[in-house]
Amino acid sequence: MNRPRIVIEKDPDAVAAAAARNWLRLAREAVSEQGVFHVALSGGSTPRRLHAALAAAAPPPPWAAVEAWFGDERCVPPDDPESNYRMARETLFDRVPIAPGHIHPILCSPADCRRAAHAYARTLAARLPAAAGGMPRLDLAVLGMGPDGHTASLFPGSCILSETERPAAAVYVDRLKAWRVSLTRPLLEAARHLMFIVTGADKAPAVARALATPHDPAGLPVQRLAPAGEVTWYLDAAAAAGLEETRP
């Protein structure tokens, strides 16, 4: 496994600008090699700044060749304020010339979360090239991390962490008393690049723990990943505050 590259910037805007530069580079490389860039977007609130930077980028990303997927989704309607798709639509899709047919939301509601996960897994398998082990292969998965070390909707103690075959699955998150759909560990591990974007002092302890041992099968969900491709962490100074003493 490659060691993660760690980029520390002074504040969340500088983090977003640095992550956007790498996103653009990877998009251009993928499009020149294979004519398409398959990227999974992260949910939560941190990606808003990245989306703003991408929407303002000059020259812009090759939007006509971008296929946008989602790392996870809350089982709510797509116009719900909690919806990751809604956040991405408002901050990115409504502002850039991406083809509507290239946007792949996870369409779910509490009544059909499992069906939504199956449908998403099928669409991923149909549209993405296969990696060596047969998993659909994303060019890039943008990920966040919660203070508890969850990434996408892979939460501590969750049975979805043991998934080895399905690229996407439905999961009940006890702590939130809510269903979600998430890309799974094997799908994320097969991606060509993973990009973690983490900001804020509340995440500093989890960042320090995660980067002290980037792969730990018994660690935080983020440490359970054994990525085949490149991994870059983008941190602001607050999130990186506990790092110096613990980084190997």
Ligand X SMILES: O=C1O[C@H](COP(=O)(O)O)[C@@H](O)[C@H](O)[C@H]1O
- Residues 15, 21, 24: CA angle, nearest 5 degrees: 135
Q: Which residue's CB is nearer to ligand X, number 65 or number 154? A: 154
b or e along 39-58 (b: 16 or more beta carbons within 10 Å of the residue's beta carbon)? bbbbbbebbbbbbbbbbebe
105 lies in the site for ligand X, by CB under 6 A? no
- Binding part of the chain for ligand X, among 16-24, 111-119, 140-148, 160-168 by CB under 6 A, reads 140-148
Q: How many residues bind ligand X (CB under 6 A)?
A: 15
Binding mask 54-93 for ligand X (x = CB under 6 A): -----------------xx-----------x---------
Q: Which residue's CB is nearer to ligand X, number 153 or number 158? A: 153
Structure tokens at 199: 């900001």
Distance CA 97, CA 94 (A): 8
Distance CA 55, CA 18 (A): 14
Residue from 88, 152, 208, 222 touching ligand X (CB under 6 A): that is 152
Query: Which residues in the 192-211 window bind ligand X by CB under 6 A?
Result: none
Q: Which residue's CB is nearer to ligand X, number 67 or number 72? A: 72
Neighbours of 126 (CB within 10 A): 8
Counts for the chain of helices (H) and strands (E), in that order? 7, 9
Compute the least distance from the CB of residue 188 to ligand X, in Å: 11
Q: Under the rule (CB under 6 A), what is the footprint of ligand X?
A: 42-46, 71-72, 84, 143-146, 151-153
